[in-house]
Amino acid sequence: MNTHIEPKKVHHGKNVKRLREMLGIKQDALAVELNITQATMSKLEAKEEIEKETLQKIAQILKIPVEAIENFNDEGALNFVANSFHSQDLNDNSIGHQFTFNFNPIDKIVELYTEKEALYERMVQEKNALIEKLLSK
């Protein structure tokens, strides 16, 4: 019986794409920063293994550690990225972002649902009033 378990192979290109999307950065914007075409960036995101030098450039542009790309996994991804942000200088024109949430996303969803429910109720009342008006004629 073989008890040796192979570690999961990391796909650098997919990780770059996922992290880029999580950070809200478009593929062509990252390509411009890397001084390559969008098509080349697309091919780069399809590669299983990306050269260390290129990974370092991407990590620098995204303002994340190289290890975030090399060791990306679903479970720790959000915490890793959130804790890897650095404040930007005012003169820094790079494409990195810093997020601060002042609300609970679940509360916003409940609020939107409540608004939708109220709108539906108002619409039903208006239709009923219109039907009653038409029937009374």
Q: Give the global pTM.
A: 0.51
User: Do the Cβ atoms of 13 and 27 come closer than 8 Å?
Assistant: no
Most confident segment among 20-29, 30-39, 71-80: 30-39
| DSSP 8-state assignment for residue 71 | T
Q: Domain spans of the chain?
A: 12-82, 102-137
CB burial of 68-92 (b: ≥16 within 10 Å; e: otherwise) equals: bbeebeeeebeebbeeeeeeeeeee
Cα 78–chain centre separation: 9
Predicted local distance difference test score (pLDDT) of residue 90:
45
| Token pair in block for residue 78 | 């959000």
pLDDT in tens, 86-123: 544 445 555 555 555 566 777 778 888 888 999 999 99
- Cα–Cα dist 35/14, whole Å: 20
Instruction: Write the CATH number of the domain with boundaries 12-82.
Output: 1.10.260.40
pLDDT in tens, 43-87: 999 998 999 999 999 999 988 888 888 887 655 555 655 565 554
